[in-house]
Chains A and B, each alone.
Chain A
Amino acid sequence: MRSAGTIPGRTLGQMKRNWGLYLLLFPAVVLTLLFAYKPMYGVIIAFKDYSPALGIADSPWAGFKYFEKFFNSYQFSNTIKNTLIISLYSMLTFPIPIILALMVNQMRPNRFRRFFQTVSYMPHFISTVVMVGLMMILLSPSTGLVGNLYSLFGKEAPDLIGSASLFSSVYVWSDVWQHVGWDSIIFIAALSAVDPSLYEAATVDGASRWHKIRYIDIPMLMPTAVTLLILRVGGLLGIGFEKVYLMQNDLNATSSEILSTYVYKIGLLSSQYSFSSAINLFNTVISFILLIIVNQISKKMSENSLW
């Protein structure tokens, strides 16, 4: 009771009383420390000549050697260019789930709508491996569905899987196919929060469907859309490893090597640990800076921000 007036005393009392809560947090904290924070310390090998025999702490410092090596390598501009092309391209498809959500919102709540939504989520549950397998089967110019479609019209099908110039299109549009329904859920949820009296008032004022979408639905979706867009920009250099790696082949290699696949090959396949970590750190830092910049811009312009 004596220390009741001071904050640390009160906090301590609260902590004691709620020890059970800390116990509940314990596993997550330990796992995060071990598997998220401990590797962050390991990032310093990007500035060292890491040798497994010496360990992280005792390996000699190398300064910015590996960063320079990366900047001077011919893969530097190529991987960055490919990464940016693919992610900017997929950013262009950002409005598609929003359009889908607006459409679903216009449907009357009935069996068709439910069926539509169920089916549109479904491809999201296909694993990346199966998805790429599907693409290889279906897009094959000789035996696939696309090949058959083309030959139906007596034309020669393009080799979508083995083409460097079409790689980004195949990647992005297959992603849209797989995730558009899932990505729209969040917008559908936001739309379901619209006060129905707004629509009623708009109807009385003579608003058409289109007006309602334009002046009620779209403004309603803006905060969610901006938040997701900020996160996307933050992940500009971070496009997933899995799908690109699985889609890679000798024929599309020039446009399919991205930062994350390069990090994997340099690091795990050719065991250049320090070099790989340097590339990865470069990637993370740029992404982090982008995230902060975009967040700041959005804060100024629309009062939407992540923090």
Chain B
Amino acid sequence: MGTLAPAVKENAKKIKNDRSSDTVMEYVMYAIAVLFLVILMYPLYFIIIASFSDPSAVAGGQVWLFPKGFTLDGYKELLKHQNIWIGYRNTILYTVVGTIIGLVVNISAAYALSRKDLAGRKLLSLFFIFTMFFNGGLIPTFLTIRDLHLYDTFLVMVLPFSVGVFNIIVARTFFQTSIPGDLWEAAQIDGCGNLRYFVQVVLPLSKAIIAVIGLWIAVGHWNSYFNALIYLKNPDLHPLQLILRNILITNQMQSGMGTGEAAQIALRLANMMRYSVIIVATIPIMCVYPFVQKYFNQGVMIGAVKE
């Protein structure tokens, strides 16, 4: 005891010293965190206030914390654009139908692959995983889609790319770790088949994973633009993102609007609309995600677990 005491005392002193350096570190950390939040949030906040401001005030650098020259002209202009609303409708359709298809395809495959008594399980997993690392590439895929007469159809937006191998792996791991095998044994004794067991027992126990995967798929559809760019010609089928590209990036709004004063006004409105269109296009998905957010850590963690 006597020989231990000084060492313990020494240690206690050290801990105390470290505590004070810990406090400094804590302040520094929170300061960095706040700075980080500002960098992340300010651009988004700026877009919101700019959408309500007079465009010349925005361009002149007068808008910093609050809208200046409050106006709703950008949103009014937005309402007049048929394209946007057609795109909006299409995107909602693609998202809803695509998410349902995606969930059915991926969740059911994932469940089957999670069952240890599935003969050929390893091979089947490999069959899917291989496509993550190797694919036909743009042109062969394009030719395949065209040969199947899916080019320029509604289906091309919701069907061909609905298998998400990453989603399958995540859901499979979830089923393996959270659905006890005994349940299936018990159900079997009661004469319950695989399909009924899946629908009546497994699915109700898997709401968390269904929510996460569903959100991932839905966000993917809502934001998707590449497939539409390649596989859709008919403007009536164009999703919102493709129309947004014309407004935000290639600026096709301004073409063919004449010259002089009328063009000036058109340009002004087009500029205003760029802010409001961003908000209108992004709000829906931002509204959904807080509800599913609590499952994120869980979902991603499961995805990170290796076999």
Contacts and interface: CB of A to CB of B under 8 A. Distances in A.
A237 to B, nearest CB: 12
Given A126-B282, A267-B138, A291 B133 contact: yes
Interface in B137-167: 137-145, 148, 159-163
Contacts of B303: 186
Given A20-B195, A107-B33, A273-B139, A132 B297 contact: no
B22 A127 contact: no
A14 B224 CA distance: 41
Contact of B44 (A122, A188, A203, A234): A122
A143 B274 CA distance: 13
A122 B194 CA distance: 39
By size class, the interface of chain B is 35 or more
Given A185-B300, A276-B138, A129 B293 contact: no
6 contacts: A21-B118, A129-B249, A130-B241, A133-B244, A134-B43, A264-B138
A209 B161 CA distance: 46
B183 interface: no
Which of B127, B137, B144, B278 has the most A CB atoms < 10 Å from its CB?
A: B137
B296 A145 contact: no
Interface string B103-140: 01110110111010111100010011001011111111
Contacts of A45: 139-140, 143
A18 B115 contact: yes
Interface string A110-146: 0010001011111101111110111011100011010
Interface of A: 11, 14-15, 18-25, 27-29, 31-32, 34-43, 45, 56, 100, 103, 106-107, 112, 116, 118-123, 125-130, 132-134, 136-138, 142-143, 145, 147-148, 151-152, 177, 181, 185-186, 188-190, 192-193, 203, 205-211, 224, 227, 234, 241-242, 246, 263-264, 267-268, 273, 276-277, 280-281, 283-284, 287-288, 291
Given A42-B141, A241-B226, 15 more contacts: A18-B115, A18-B119, A24-B108, A24-B194, A39-B141, A43-B137, A116-B37, A118-B293, A123-B44, A130-B241, A138-B43, A189-B301, A208-B22, A268-B230, A288-B133
Contact of A42 (B133, B139, B148, B293): B139
Given A128-B225, A190-B301, A208-B21, A116 B138 contact: no
Interface of B: 11, 14-15, 18, 21-22, 25-26, 29-30, 32-33, 36-37, 39-41, 43-44, 46-47, 58-59, 61, 104-106, 108-109, 111-113, 115, 117-120, 124, 127-128, 131, 133-145, 148, 159-163, 168, 193-195, 198, 219, 222-226, 230, 241-242, 244-245, 247-249, 271, 274-275, 278, 281-282, 285-286, 289-290, 293, 296-298, 300-301, 303-304, 306
